[in-house]
């Protein structure tokens, strides 16, 4: 019996899955991203409550403090007094990528950051790789930063003659059982994020102000004991040492892209996201270089080898006042908490975007109607990160985070070049200056810093990507919503992207 045509249409059979090569190269239409962001596809949209101040503070909160407060003692022995040059090199690489992020954030103002940008330009295969790298960047960096909290909690307790035993403040690899302060900070951030993004943003803004204040206070004290002789010789470990340190302290710049994950919660994303990203980079780089110069000026570079909570120890030695160390340590714990809060926020939004596309389970994309946040996904991610923070040493986490981040940043630079060449008529609220020199140099800088990371880090990265490949073929490929689109729907959604008039495109 022949089925009538009308019946076939009402059944609406799913479009046949494309071949593997075609699916890996199939790009997600920008029009589909816009529909998902505003809820016109039937989903629950996120609440738009962030202005440029909150977005900038999200970026600064996720970035400022990590390298200075946590891994300075591990980085100075690599570069010597030239550690400030390492911060400049890493900052330049981050800035080159930041301007590419700014263009893409204004063009594709949705949650998902570089994952979404890669999906819109290079296809599903590269988007999955980028998204998997972002999982490594965000989740592992949260754990790495939280690990450093134990150092400063002990410094604060020392003012009262108390200290946490290693069993409760160090992971198993460092002679302890579990890092309780790290676990506690992640859990508190997770609970706050589940309550609401707006409340989290205002608390983060207040903490960022405190964080900037304590770092400037350190500089004021350290410069009273400044010794220019501490900078001689400037390059005791050679240029290779500076490069190695730059690759490690690049970890300090991870987080500026957190603002780009807030594209669906910004009031005016096309205008405010580029401003927030660039402004945060200027603030963070300036403070990093200032603190690094002040620290080396106050103590010779050899003093930092094996030193934990270096800034607190400098303050104690210079002032002889335990209460100063107590105040600074308490501020440092708050600073670490703000990084954990904002980076964990970014991680949940990345997984939200990947879930919408069917590449990870739906639970990560469920938005609570009561709070307007992906509460279930936040609970799952927060629990996993808390366990990692409590059980894994800092050094392994920091390097693994850097390589995943550098790879994702390189993809964003490539995405800018791709869209400029293939879709020059798209509306752009911000354009990368000195194109194509800037994104090309940004890509090369990321590759250069990746090359300076150790063999162990590359092995971890390769293993991570193998796990990601298995998950994609085992789950993501079969559940991809973009691959399931019919050719007609795909063309219609692609045509929905806002475009400039031909004359305007020529003028720009």
My answer on whether omega of the bond before 372 falls inside 30° of 0, hence cis, is no
Phi and psi, residue 395, nearest 5°: -55, -45
Return d(Cα 290, Cα 295) in angstroms, integer: 9
pLDDT of residue 4 exceeding 50, the answer is no
**Cβ-based burial of 380 (10 A; exposed 0-12, middle 13-18, buried ≥19):** middle
List the structure tokens of 409. Answer: 């940043």
CB-CB contact of 98 with 277 (8 Å):
yes
Superfamily of domain covering 23-507 = Amino acid/polyamine transporter I (1.20.1740.10)
Half-sphere exposure in the Cβ direction for 173 (13 Å, CA): 11
CB-CB contact of 408 with 137 (8 Å):
yes
Question: In this predicted model, what pLDDT tens digit does every residue of 32-47 receive, in sequence order?
Answer: 777 776 666 556 666 6
Global confidence as pTM: 0.74
Task: Band the pLDDT of 173: cuts 50, 70, 90.
Answer: low
DSSP 41: T
Neighbours of 306 (CB within 10 A): 8
**For 361-379, b where at least 16 C-beta lie within 10 A, e where not — what string?**
eeebbbbeeebbbbbbbbb
Q: Which pLDDT score, from 0 to 100, does residue 281 have?
A: 85
**Long-range pairs for 501-505: beta carbons < 8 A, 24 or more residues apart:** 502/425, 505/424, 505/425
* Of 110 and 136, more confident: 136
Section 192-203 average pLDDT? 74
pLDDT of residue 398 exceeding 50, the answer is yes
Question: Going by C-beta distance under 8 Å and a sequence separation of 6 or more, which residues neighbour residue 304?
Answer: 72, 73, 76, 77, 295, 310
Per the document, the length of the chain is 508
* SS3 track for 455-477: HHHHHHHHHHHHHHHHHHHHHHH
* Of 182 and 469, more confident: 469
Q: Taking the domains of the chain in order of start, what are their residue ranges?
A: 23-507
Task: Band the pLDDT of 159: cuts 50, 70, 90.
Answer: low
Question: In this predicted model, what pLDDT tens digit does every residue of 485-503 receive, in sequence order?
Answer: 777 666 766 666 555 544 3
List the structure tokens of 443. Answer: 């890509």
């Amino acid at each position: 019996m022949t089925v009538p045509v009308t019946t076939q249409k009402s059944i609406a059979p799913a479009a046949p899955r494309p071949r593997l090569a075609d699916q890996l190269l199939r790009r997600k239409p920008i029009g589909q991203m816009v529909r998902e962001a505003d809820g016109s596809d039937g989903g629950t949209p996120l609440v738009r409550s962030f202005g440029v101040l909150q977005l900038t503070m999200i970026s600064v909160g996720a970035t400022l403090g990590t390298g200075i407060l946590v891994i300075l003692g591990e980085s100075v022995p690599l570069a010597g007094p030239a550690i400030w040059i390492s911060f400049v090199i890493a900052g330049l690489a981050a800035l080159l990528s930041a301007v590419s992020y700014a263009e893409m954030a204004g063009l594709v103002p949705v949650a998902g950051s570089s994952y979404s940008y890669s999906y819109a330009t290079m296809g599903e295969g590269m988007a999955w790789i980028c998204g998997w790298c972002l999982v490594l960047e965000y989740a592992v960096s949260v754990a790495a930063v939280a690990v450093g909290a134990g150092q400063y909690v002990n410094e604060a307790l020392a003012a009262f003659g108390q200290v946490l035993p290693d069993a409760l403040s160090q992971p198993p690899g460092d002679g302890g059982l579990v890092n309780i302060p790290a676990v506690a900070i992640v859990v508190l951030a997770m609970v706050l994020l589940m309550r609401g993004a707006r409340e989290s943003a205002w608390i983060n803004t207040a903490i960022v102000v405190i964080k900037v204040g304590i770092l400037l206070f350190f500089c004021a004290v350290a410069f009273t004991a400044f010794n220019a002789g501490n900078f001689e010789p400037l390059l005791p470990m050679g240029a290779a040492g500076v490069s190695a340190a730059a690759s490690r302290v690049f970890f300090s710049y991870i987080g500026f892209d957190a603002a780009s994950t807030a594209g669906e919660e910004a009031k005016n994303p096309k205008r405010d996201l580029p401003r927030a990203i660039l402004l945060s980079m200027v603030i963070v780089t300036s403070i990093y270089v200032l603190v690094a110069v002040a620290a080396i000026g106050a103590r010779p570079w050899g003093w930092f080898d094996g030193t934990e909570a270096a800034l607190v120890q400098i303050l104690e030695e210079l002032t002889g006042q335990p209460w100063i160390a107590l105040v600074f340590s308490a501020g440092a714990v708050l600073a670490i908490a703000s990084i954990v809060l904002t980076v964990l926020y970014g991680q949940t939004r990345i997984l939200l975007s990947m879930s919408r596309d069917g590449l990870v389970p739906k639970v990560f994309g469920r938005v609570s109607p009561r709070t307007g946040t992906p509460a279930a996904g936040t609970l799952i991610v927060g629990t996993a990160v808390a366990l990692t923070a409590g059980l894994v040493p800092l050094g392994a986490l920091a390097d693994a985070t850097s390589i995943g981040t550098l790879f994702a940043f390189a993809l964003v630079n490539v995405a800018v070049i791709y869209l400029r060449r293939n879709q020059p008529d798209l509306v752009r609220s911000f354009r990368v200056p000195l194109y194509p020199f800037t994104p090309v140099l940004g890509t090369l800088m990321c590759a250069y810093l990746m090359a300076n990371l150790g063999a162990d880090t590359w092995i971890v990265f390769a293993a991570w990507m193998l796990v990601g490949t298995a998950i994609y073929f085992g789950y993501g490929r079969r559940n991809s919503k973009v691959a399931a689109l019919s050719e007609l729907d795909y063309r219609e959604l692609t045509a929905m992207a806002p475009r400039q008039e031909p004359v305007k495109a020529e003028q720009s």
